[in-house]
């Protein structure tokens, strides 16, 4: 065991005395030491209940013969950080979570890890750490929030974002906006739609790193605590049998993740995180494969923001395993690979039938025959960009319009709020990529402003930044190469015609190569927006969004 270097033999006496200082007995010091990585804090609604989840994990570990030892991980609430400088600090925390988990684990020689994340970046950050460390590990999240209700209709955080624009254009009054504000987020938990946090927690099940229900059991259900206890017990089996993350997160597991991603209609952020996690596993996950998988994978769910269903309903309909079981009928799931249960995917999903075919459609009656996410390429994005196809209005699947160009999110948002964006146009927000932002901010506020202003079926938005999982509409992000490194998005001028064909997976500026070459000769790199602190270091090290924005 890893911990023997600090628990066994004469030379470990100094370490043992410090373990005694923690209150550990000789009997405990002889058992496996299990690190529990807790992202509990009092500012993120998805994390305020994690102390209770962690306590349940500790009981499970102890019951199964291990010694549970808790240490922290940070987490940023994307919703609170949205629309101001704080959003620059969202994606970048993924690397901080991975690095600090690595440091704590190596420094203290843990034998296994139970990861307890919940929100957007600390789930993939911990998955990256698990792959990097490659000691037995299992995940149990804090769980999703219940949906709110207004006028008999379920709503979520994204409803409030769009309601701001509806108020500004006079569609609703201040009283109705206040009602949305006070009812949209009724419990703790990760926001209630298929936004980034819930997307990644669901994909943790698919990757084989979380037990059944990890992505869907609501935070306020006691079943979440039962799940946590079982995760605590199961880590001891993984330690006993030396089943490690890279035994589980194989290339076939990532193929499964992309497949279920398409069927569920997950957040476009999964197209950043899956390649980054795969990178830590030593696997090159090229996004080109996404379109190949999408072409043969039916979209079975329309969860918010793509539709009116929520994670709590997905849970009742059979959850992630039911989706996987349904996809297996078309032989789209690799069923012979190992998972954290100690069983194969096929053994795990056996008999997991859909319980509500309105929430999870059958493969015979999908929302569409192709998946919920598309990667587009063309002269605007030679290395690719990403759109949540399942959340795009049918009339916007093919669109051609004049570019309205903005060099930051704030300028674009002000133009939308001021009524300066017209039907048929294409809003371009650049210099918001991993390096240019820096930090690759989410553009939920501009997309919500477009939707709330009634332009969702006539205006597209393109950015080298990214989008919240709560975003809907023709919102195309992760444009690569980004503007800050001289990508063609930096060469777009006001009034250029842009053509988008999501069905054909293409995106182009309708300008000749000669004109682009002339503009490139005149282009000069911009001075960094931030020159000190963590963001400055991040900007120097981060790679393209097309490769998962990993650090070199």
SS3 content of the chain, % helix, strand, coil (to 5): 45, 15, 40
In angstroms, the CA 439 to CA 465 distance is 8
Q: 400: which strand partners? A: 499
In angstroms, the CA 486 to CA 482 distance is 7
H-helix segments, 242-368: 245-248, 251-264, 270-280, 288-296, 311-316, 319-328, 345-349
> 472 is written with which tokens?
């809907």
Q: CB-based burial of residue 485 (10 Å sphere; 0-12 exposed, 13-18 middle, 19+ buried)?
A: middle
> 257 is written with which tokens?
């993740």
- Residue pair 246/282 in contact by the 8 Å Cβ criterion: yes
Q: CB-based burial of residue 153 (10 Å sphere; 0-12 exposed, 13-18 middle, 19+ buried)?
A: exposed
Among 186, 147, 142, CA closest to 41:
142
Token pair 């569609």 is at which residue? 171
CA R_g for the chain: 23
Q: Which parts of 306-378 are beta strand (E)?
A: 374-378
In angstroms, the CA 199 to CA 144 distance is 10
Q: 468 an active-site residue?
A: yes
Catalytic hit among 158, 270, 458, 468: 468
DSSP-derived secondary structure for 98-133 = HHHHHHHHHHHT-SEEEEE--STTHHHHHHHHHHHH
> 99 is written with which tokens?
């690095």
- Residue pair 262/373 in contact by the 8 Å Cβ criterion: yes
CB atoms within 10 A of CB 510: 12
Classify 145 as helix, strand or coil.
coil
In angstroms, the CA 155 to CA 346 distance is 35
In angstroms, the CA 211 to CA 6 distance is 31
Q: 115: which strand partners? A: 37, 139
* Helix count and strand count (H, E) for the chain: 22, 14
> 151 is written with which tokens?
């006028």
Active site residues: 468
């Amino acid at each position: 065991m890893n911990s023997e270097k600090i628990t066994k033999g004469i030379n470990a006496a100094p370490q043992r005395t410090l373990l005694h200082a923690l209150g550990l007995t000789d009997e405990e010091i002889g058992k496996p030491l299990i690190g529990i990585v807790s992202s509990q804090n009092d500012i993120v609604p998805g994390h305020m209940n994690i102390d209770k989840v962690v306590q349940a994990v500790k009981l499970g570990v102890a019951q199964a013969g291990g010694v549970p030892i808790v240490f922290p991980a940070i987490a940023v609430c994307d919703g609170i950080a949205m629309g101001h400088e704080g959003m620059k600090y969202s994606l970048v925390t993924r690397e901080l979570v991975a690095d600090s988990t690595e440091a704590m684990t190596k420094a203290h020689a843990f034998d296994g890890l139970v990861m307890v994340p919940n929100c957007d970046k600390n789930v993939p950050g911990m998955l990256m750490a698990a792959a990097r460390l490659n000691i037995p590990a299992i995940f149990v999240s804090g769980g999703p929030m219940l949906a709110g209700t207004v006028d008999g209709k379920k709503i979520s955080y994204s409803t409030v974002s769009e309601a701001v624009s509806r108020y500004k254009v006079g569609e609703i009054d201040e009283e109705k906006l206040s009602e949305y504000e006070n009812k949209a987020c009724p419990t703790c938990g990760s926001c209630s739609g298929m936004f980034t946090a819930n997307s990644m927690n669901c994909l943790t099940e698919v990757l084989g790193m979380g037990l059944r229900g990890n992505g869907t059991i609501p935070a306020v259900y006691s079943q979440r605590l039962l799940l946590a206890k079982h995760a605590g017990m199961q880590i001891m089996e993984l330690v006993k049998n030396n089943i490690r993350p890279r035994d589980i997160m194989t290339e076939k597991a990532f193929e499964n993740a992309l497949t279920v991603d398409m069927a569920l209609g997950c957040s476009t952020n999964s197209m950043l995180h899956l390649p980054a996690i795969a990178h830590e596993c030593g696997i090159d996950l090229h996004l080109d494969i996404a379109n190949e998988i999408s072409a043969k994978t039916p979209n079975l769910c329309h969860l918010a923001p793509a539709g009116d269903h929520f994670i709590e309903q997905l849970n009742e309909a059979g959850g992630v395993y039911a989706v996987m079981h349904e996809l297996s009928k078309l032989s789209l799931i690799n069923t012979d690979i190992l998972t954290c249960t100690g069983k194969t995917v096929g053994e795990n999903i056996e008999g997991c039938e859909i319980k509500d075919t309105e929430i999870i459609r059958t493969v015979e009656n999908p929302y569409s025959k192709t998946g919920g996410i598309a990667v587009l390429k063309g002269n605007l994005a030679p290395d690719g960009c990403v759109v949540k196809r399942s959340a795009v209005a049918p009339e916007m699947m093919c669109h051609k319009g004049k570019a309205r160009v903005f060099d930051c999110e704030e300028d674009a948002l002000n133009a939308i709020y001021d009524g300066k964006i017209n039907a048929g146009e294409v809003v371009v927000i650049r210099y918001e990529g991993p390096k240019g932002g820096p930090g690759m901010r989410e553009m939920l506020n501009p997309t919500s402003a477009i939707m709330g202003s009634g332009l969702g079926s006539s205006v597209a938005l393109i950015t080298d930044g990214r989008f919240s999982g709560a975003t809907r509409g023709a919102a195309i992000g992760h444009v690569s190469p980004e503007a800050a490194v001289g990508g063609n998005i930096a060469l777009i001028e006001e009034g250029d015609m842009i053509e988008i064909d999501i069905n054909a997976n293409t995106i182009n500026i309708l300008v000749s190569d000669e004109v682009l070459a002339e503009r490139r000769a005149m282009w000069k790199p911009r001075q960094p927006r931030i020159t000190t602190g963590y963001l400055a270091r991040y900007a120097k090290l981060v790679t393209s969004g097309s490769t998962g924005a990993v650090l070199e």
